Amino acid sequence: MEVSQANKNKGPHSRYPIAIYILMISAFAIGTTEFVIMGLLPDVARDLQVSISTAGLLVTGYALGVAIGGPLLTAFTVRLPRKALLLALMALFVAANIISAIATGYNVLMVARVLSSFTHGTVFGIGSIVAARLVRPDQQASAIAMMFIGVTLANILGVPLGTWIGQSYGWRATFWIVAGLGMFSLITLAVFVPNLKSQEIPRLGQELRVLRNPQVLLTLLMTVTGFGGVFVVFTYIAPILTDITGFHDSSVTYLLLIVGAGLTLGNIVGGKLSDRRLMPSLIGMLVLLTVVTVLFSFTSHSKIATIFTLFFWGFAAFGTVPGFQMRVLDKARSAPNLASSLNIGAFNLGGAGGAWLGGLVLDSEQGLPLLTWVAALVTLLGLAVTMVSKLVEDRERRRLGEGK
């Protein structure tokens, strides 16, 4: 089955091929296994007889695995057919989560987490390319956004449900369920995702050469800085809501659902806007994110105002995601596999860096009230990098136009 036959996979009332929704399920499974460990850390630490801080390194190990291992795995598998690679990666994902479920010690669990993280960067990177090639050019960013809805749903549904299951039936039960979800994804990917044409499979040298493109490198920097500011706040959203706004601990879960609703809608709208005018919409979302983050410094003192701010903050935060991913695919069009995977790593690097920076701010004299201001500055840096990329691109276009 070739990509040109993808429309045969469309349902009678579906705008996208069914394969797009299958990729979304894969993203949901991967997103759940990434974030659910945070809610299970006390249970894991107690069962494996390690400290909470040691158990927390399972989060760090996963993030580093995505940022480093994903691009390396993509580079070494660049000659494999895209569908075969997706199936192999989901099989590895299932195996890694089974190993996590039966891990007899901390070191085994760490190895399983790292193995699972390797699939993260490559599946999202390759999945973005497959999603973009299954639809018309004017739907590509929206198709990528649809796949990434799986990540937002993982935060809204997968993580709370997985945490509840782990706390009720043991943390290992959560990983068994995620492994089962991965198996379902593997089977449906095999049935519904078409093969890419063999001539579309690039060479490693071609992939590496595209990294000489300054616009590709600028896009990676845009992603790290533009998304990094989100995690300066998001990592410590619970203490902001309880210690500054005055919500009770039990309210945090419901407030995160509001953030999740904003994330989901922002992801969809951001994809549609990026399909129309990629860079202007991306710049607009970063401006909105900066403004809302600054406003949060003031609205966080009011419960009602905070509820509205959380929704718009989530909207702007994930409104940038499809634009960043589409930008790197556009600038690395001749060889997008490695660049796409690196951009997924850039999201995780930005998240890890944002969490680290937020921790430094939290330990400072100003503490919690300073977090939103620092987050806004990081986002503003991402906006500046994006503006530079746009200006360089416009200047190059004018130069080429004058040379004709």
Domain 15-201 identical in fold to domain 202-404: yes
Residue 12 has a pLDDT of 40
Instruction: Give the separation between CA 169 and CA 4, rounded to whole angstroms.
Output: 46
Number of helices followed by number of strands (H, E) in the chain: 17, 0
Whole-angstrom Cα distance, residue 251 to residue 260?
14
In this model, does residue 213 exceed pLDDT 80? yes
Average pLDDT, the chain: 85
Residue 241, Cβ neighbours under 10 Å: how many? 21
CATH superfamily assigned to domain 202-404: MFS general substrate transporter like domains (1.20.1250.20)
Other C-beta atoms lying within 10 Å of the C-beta of residue 313: 28
Structure tokens given for 304: 């009602």
> Residues 328, 57: contact at Cβ < 8 Å?
no
Domain range annotation of the chain? 15-201, 202-404
Pick left, alpha or beta for residue 80 (phi over 0 → left; psi -120 to 50 → alpha; otherwise beta).
Answer: beta
Angle (CA) 379-270-376 rounded to 5° is: 15
pLDDT attached to residue 266: 92
Residue 314: name the closest of 371, 269, 369 by CA: 269
Condensed to tens digits (0 to 9), the pLDDT of residues 148-170 reads 888 878 877 887 788 888 888 99
From CA 223, how far away is CA 25, in angstroms rounded?
Answer: 24
CATH architecture of 15-201: Up-down Bundle (1.20)
Burial 140-164 (b: 16+ CB within 10 A, else e): bbbbbbbbbbbbbbbbbebbbebbe
What pLDDT band is residue 188 in, cutting at 50, 70 and 90?
Answer: very high
List C-alpha distances in Å: 100 to 66, 118, 178. Answer: 17, 14, 10
DSSP 11: -
Give the helix/strand (H/E) hosting 397. helix 371-403
Greatest mean pLDDT among 94-108, 258-272, 317-331 lies in: 94-108
Alpha carbon distance 365, 352 (integer Å):
22
Task: Give the tens place of pLDDT for each residue, 19-47.
Answer: 899 999 999 999 899 878 877 877 888 89
